Amino acid sequence: MARPDPKPSEGEDAFTRLAALVAPELAAVDRTIRERMASEHAPRIPELSAHLIEAGGKRLRPVLTLAAAKLCGYEGDHQVKLAAAVEFIHTATLLHDDVVDESAKRRGRPTANILFGNQQSVLVGDYLFARSFRLMVETGSLRVLDILADASAVIAEGEVLQLTAQHDLSGGEPRYFQVIRGKTAALFAAAAEVGGVVAGAEEAKVAALRDYGDALGIAFQLIDDFLDYGGSAAAMGKNVGDDFREGKATLPVLIAHAEGDAEERAFWSRVIEEHEQEEGDLAAALRLFARHDALGRTRQRAEDWAARAVAALEVFPDSEMKRALADIAEFVVARGR
Amino acid sequence: MARPDPKPSEGEDAFTRLAALVAPELAAVDRTIRERMASEHAPRIPELSAHLIEAGGKRLRPVLTLAAAKLCGYEGDHQVKLAAAVEFIHTATLLHDDVVDESAKRRGRPTANILFGNQQSVLVGDYLFARSFRLMVETGSLRVLDILADASAVIAEGEVLQLTAQHDLSGGEPRYFQVIRGKTAALFAAAAEVGGVVAGAEEAKVAALRDYGDALGIAFQLIDDFLDYGGSAAAMGKNVGDDFREGKATLPVLIAHAEGDAEERAFWSRVIEEHEQEEGDLAAALRLFARHDALGRTRQRAEDWAARAVAALEVFPDSEMKRALADIAEFVVARGR
């Protein structure tokens, strides 16, 4: 709204600043990830997971865990194992997503399923998922296991819901938010929450961290869905219009559909619900987005959720870490500018 | 061996007797499975898992957990959750296996991936896996989580190893046993072991249960690989010669290959390693098996492992449950008669 627009580089700086505040722990996470990827019996496993884990991902989710623990004054080292576990769950999800989506590119590189086949993507995902639970067990905290097992179930539910409802416009925004809460926000929320839990923080702070992660994850996914139409392939490392071609009912489509006249609704019904597309449909979709400001309104929703993430941190006293966590919400939405 | 050959029906009776000894707990496991399959957000999930879970599987693994706990004198109810968790892990593995194997039939019915698509099989497997960890968390035992997380990782490793080495005869029997220990015996071993752990049994008994499950699982897989060539499609509920057509280096092939002359080895190299098969090759393979008694020797190995399973139970005093667990080893190899 009235907030000044930061330049994209300010957003990048925000992530760099946050990561710098947990630099030693993050280096330990990287070491743990490399150690625990290793498989005694199946040497191909680290080769495949390394393809993803070393592909320059931002480690946003593990950084959340490390930062949340530090914000709560934690001085132990269990947050390192938890952060590695969170990254393993995320990587397992990516491996399985690529099989499910049949996508060919991620982070600008061919996806693992294209390079190694669906079979290995499924199994290595399973391996990393199992290894993540092993890491959690080592922290000795049943509550942490409960939170991350629950998040893992909710992620799978979100993906199944997305799959069964992906061409269906009738669920509207409520179902859209149900899907993205599952497939994206659940792990952000759990990543932040377990940082508070491992630190033994009071319940109000643990709940605040969960709310922060949830809102941040929703903002993140809204921008992702915005960028699928609004970004350039180079910036995103994936193809523009993928969601459109797959007939996904993301928020820009739902807004344009809800606001459209009968002719426009017939267009959306054909390209999304019946998934019958022809040359020029993507351009037509972009014209309809412009007519209803569907992309601008999607980005605005992302900014609103980012503001909710910042507000959730109110319970914490001012600190450099708190400011860095607030700024990261800016980083997330800055990807959309 | 000097052991008398039981009729197949005696084997079935052995399982029925064992299941009867834990009937109330097994009914509770079924209730728990139905409750925990339910997904608030994705109603398709129970539909898909029910296809597998209610397909008349023997619940062999959860029965092991229940029987092991009872053998150790356990009188609580945590074994029910553990047994349900074990069955969820097994079902998740089946769902992912069917995607990996691209198989079209299981237990005589079309596989879930054929009915529902690979995408949902992957995601519902993930969901069940996550739900299994939630069940384990509720028992409050970190050791149980450790054992089952480790088994899950070993299962995935075994499957990856099988995939990367499936057309390779050079690994011989050592690699074959490494693969089946992972993909099959690991969960049998863990299922029995956690029954002892939840009962608070002394370490020698816990180790004995683990050894029992390991040996039983190996016998089980040996018979499975025997039946792929030796059983009838009706008895197995799957297609005969599947392993051959997929070019899998199972034990009968490894025995015939190791004992074969140059011409025979060239045959195995073509049909397994190069995976180039033509009309009549399966019949030729069966003739070579007969020449070297490869199927008989595979079944004999299964019987040896079944005897090891029985021997592992020595540490326990005589009881009806101990005898039923010993008889179950007969049940497993009786499938091969």
pLDDT at B113 (0 to 100): 57
Taking the C-alpha atoms of residue B58 and residue B190, their distance in angstroms, rounded to an integer, is 17
Question: Residue A77 contacts by C-beta under 8 Å, 6 or more apart in sequence?
Answer: A28
Whether A111 is in a domain gets the answer: yes
Whether B333 is in a domain gets the answer: no
pLDDT at A332 (0 to 100): 86
Measure CB to CB from residue B157 to each of A39, A158, A178 and give the nearest one.
A39
Whether residue B263 lies within 8 A of chain A, CB to CB, comes out as no
List C-alpha distances in Å: A312 to A212, A306, A315, A319. Answer: 5, 10, 7, 15
Other CB atoms within 10 Å distance of the CB of residue A317: 7
pLDDT at A54 (0 to 100): 63
Determine the distance from the C-alpha atom of residue A75 to the mean position of all C-alpha atoms in its chain, rounded to a whole number.
Answer: 27
Chain A closest CA to B97's CA: distance in Å?
9
The tokens for A183 are 């497939």
The tokens for A204 are 């109000």
- Best of B36, B39, B81, B126 to disrupt the A interface (most A CBs within 10 Å) is B126
Taking each continuous run of H as one helix and of E as one strand, the counts in chain B are 18, 2
Task: State residue B109 phi and psi, 5-degree precision.
Answer: -120, 155
Taking the C-alpha atoms of residue B146 and residue B126, their distance in angstroms, rounded to an integer, is 18
pLDDT at A42 (0 to 100): 67
- Best of A39, A157, A181, A197 to disrupt the B interface (most B CBs within 10 Å) is A157
Record: contact B123-A39, CB cut-off 8 A: no
Tell me, what CATH number does B245's domain have?
1.10.600.10
Over 70: is that where the pLDDT of A107 sits? no
Residue whose tokens read 């069966």: B286
Other CB atoms within 10 Å distance of the CB of residue A99: 24
Determine the distance from the C-alpha atom of residue A322 to the mean position of all C-alpha atoms in its chain, rounded to a whole number.
Answer: 21
Chain B residues touching residue A171 (CB < 8 angstroms): none
pLDDT at B12 (0 to 100): 60
Other CB atoms within 10 Å distance of the CB of residue A6: 16
Taking the C-alpha atoms of residue B130 and residue A62, their distance in angstroms, rounded to an integer, is 20
For B37, which residue in chain A has the nearest alpha carbon?
A: A153
The pLDDT-based confidence of A15 (bands split at 50, 70, 90) is: confident
Whether A314 is in a domain gets the answer: yes
pLDDT at A106 (0 to 100): 53
- Phi/psi region, residue B255 (left: phi>0; alpha: psi -120 to 50; beta: rest), is alpha
Record: contact A152-B146, CB cut-off 8 A: no
Record: contact A44-B160, CB cut-off 8 A: yes
The tokens for B307 are 């005897």
Question: Which residues span the domain enclosing B264?
Answer: 10-328
Helix (H, G, I), strand (E, B) or coil at A274: coil
Whether B335 is in a domain gets the answer: no
Record: contact A142-B146, CB cut-off 8 A: no
Measure CB to CB from residue B178 to each of A41, A156, A158 and give the nearest one.
A41
Q: How many CB pairs under 8 A join A and B?
A: 151
The answer to whether the beta carbons of residues B330 and B6 sit under 8 Å apart is yes
Quick: pLDDT tens for A239-268. Answer: 678 889 989 999 999 999 999 999 999 999
Chain B residues touching residue A129 (CB < 8 angstroms): 126, 129, 152
Over 70: is that where the pLDDT of A79 sits? yes
The tokens for A284 are 């037509």
Chain A closest CA to B241's CA: distance in Å?
21
Taking the C-alpha atoms of residue B290 and residue A292, their distance in angstroms, rounded to an integer, is 74
Q: What is the mean pLDDT of residues A85-114?
A: 73
Q: Give the end-to-end CA distance of chain B in Å, rounded to a whole number.
A: 15
Chain A residues touching residue B176 (CB < 8 angstroms): none
For B126, which residue in chain A has the nearest alpha carbon?
A: A156
Taking the C-alpha atoms of residue A184 and residue A171, their distance in angstroms, rounded to an integer, is 19
Residue whose tokens read 């928020």: A251
The tokens for A229 are 């139409």
Closest CA to B165 of B241, B97, B102, B250: B250
Q: How many CA atoms lie within 13 A of B259 on its CB side?
A: 14
Chain B residues touching residue A137 (CB < 8 angstroms): 142, 145-146, 149
Return the ∠ at Cα A165 (arms to B100 and A257), rounded to 5°.
Answer: 140
Record: contact B149-A157, CB cut-off 8 A: no
pLDDT at A2 (0 to 100): 38
Other CB atoms within 10 Å distance of the CB of residue B75: 8
Whether B63 is in a domain gets the answer: yes
Whether A2 is in a domain gets the answer: no
For A144, which residue in chain B has the nearest alpha carbon?
A: B137
Chain B closest CA to A145's CA: distance in Å?
7
pLDDT at B5 (0 to 100): 42
Domain count, chain A: 1
Record: contact B134-A150, CB cut-off 8 A: yes
Which range of A111-115, A165-169, B198-202 scores highest in mean pLDDT? It is B198-202
Chain A residues touching residue B178 (CB < 8 angstroms): 41
The tokens for A51 are 């393809």
The answer to whether the beta carbons of residues A197 and A83 sit under 8 Å apart is no
Taking the C-alpha atoms of residue B260 and residue B269, their distance in angstroms, rounded to an integer, is 11
Encode chain B (337 residues) as per-residue pLDDT tens digits: 334 444 445 556 888 899 999 999 999 999 999 888 887 666 667 776 666 666 556 789 999 999 999 999 999 999 999 999 999 999 999 888 877 666 555 545 565 655 567 778 888 899 999 999 999 999 999 999 999 999 999 999 888 888 888 888 999 999 999 999 999 999 999 999 999 999 999 999 999 999 999 999 999 999 999 999 975 544 555 567 888 998 999 999 999 999 999 999 999 999 999 999 999 999 999 999 999 999 999 999 999 999 999 999 999 999 999 999 999 998 888 877 7
Chain A residues touching residue B248 (CB < 8 angstroms): none
Chain A residues touching residue B130 (CB < 8 angstroms): 149-150, 152-153, 155-156
pLDDT at A6 (0 to 100): 44
pLDDT at B41 (0 to 100): 64
Which B positions 18-57 lie with beta carbon below 8 A of chain A? 39-42, 44-45
Of all residues in chain A, the percent with pLDDT exceeding 90 is 65
What does chain A come to in residues? Answer: 337
Burial class (CB in 10 A: 0-12, 13-18, 19+), A252: buried
Record: contact B124-A161, CB cut-off 8 A: no
- Best of B136, B157, B159 to disrupt the A interface (most A CBs within 10 Å) is B157
Question: Residue A174 contacts by C-beta under 8 Å, 6 or more apart in sequence?
Answer: none
At A187, the amino acid letter reads: L
Which B positions 147-186 lie with beta carbon below 8 A of chain A? 149-150, 152-161, 163-164, 178, 182
Over 50: is that where the pLDDT of A8 sits? no
Q: Which residues of B258-296 are buried (b: 16+ CB within 10 A; e: fewer)?
A: eebeeebeebbeebbeeeebeeebeeebbebbeebebbb
- Best of B48, B90, B128, B129 to disrupt the A interface (most A CBs within 10 Å) is B129
The answer to whether the beta carbons of residues A100 and B123 sit under 8 Å apart is yes
The pLDDT-based confidence of A22 (bands split at 50, 70, 90) is: very high
Whether A52 is in a domain gets the answer: yes
Q: Which residues of B81-112 are buried (b: 16+ CB within 10 A; e: fewer)?
A: bbbbbbbbbbbbbbbbbbbbbebebbeeeebb
For A154, which residue in chain B has the nearest alpha carbon?
A: B127
pLDDT at A201 (0 to 100): 98
Whether residue B98 lies within 8 A of chain A, CB to CB, comes out as no
The answer to whether the beta carbons of residues A151 and A190 sit under 8 Å apart is yes
Residue whose tokens read 């539909």: B47
Whether residue B266 lies within 8 A of chain A, CB to CB, comes out as no
pTM listed for this prediction: 0.88
Residue whose tokens read 């049943």: A142
Quick: pLDDT tens for A222-245. Answer: 999 999 997 554 455 556 788 899
Q: What is the average pLDDT value for chain A, to the nearest integer?
A: 87
Taking the C-alpha atoms of residue B162 and residue A42, their distance in angstroms, rounded to an integer, is 9
Chain B closest CA to A124's CA: distance in Å?
7
ipTM for the complex shown? 0.86
Chain A residues touching residue B154 (CB < 8 angstroms): 41
Q: What is the DSSP letter of B109?
A: E
Taking the C-alpha atoms of residue A79 and residue A209, their distance in angstroms, rounded to an integer, is 15
Record: contact B142-A140, CB cut-off 8 A: yes
For A175, which residue in chain B has the nearest alpha carbon?
A: B41
Record: contact A156-B126, CB cut-off 8 A: yes
Whether residue B287 lies within 8 A of chain A, CB to CB, comes out as no
Whether A3 is in a domain gets the answer: no
Q: Greater confidence, A9 or B222?
A: B222
Taking the C-alpha atoms of residue B30 and residue B22, their distance in angstroms, rounded to an integer, is 12
Which B positions 112-151 lie with beta carbon below 8 A of chain A? 118-120, 122-127, 129-131, 133-134, 136-137, 140, 142, 145-146, 149-150
Closest CA to B135 of B21, B24, B28: B28
Q: Greater confidence, B332 or A75?
A: A75
Which range of A185-189, A333-337, B29-33, B58-62 scores highest in mean pLDDT? It is A185-189
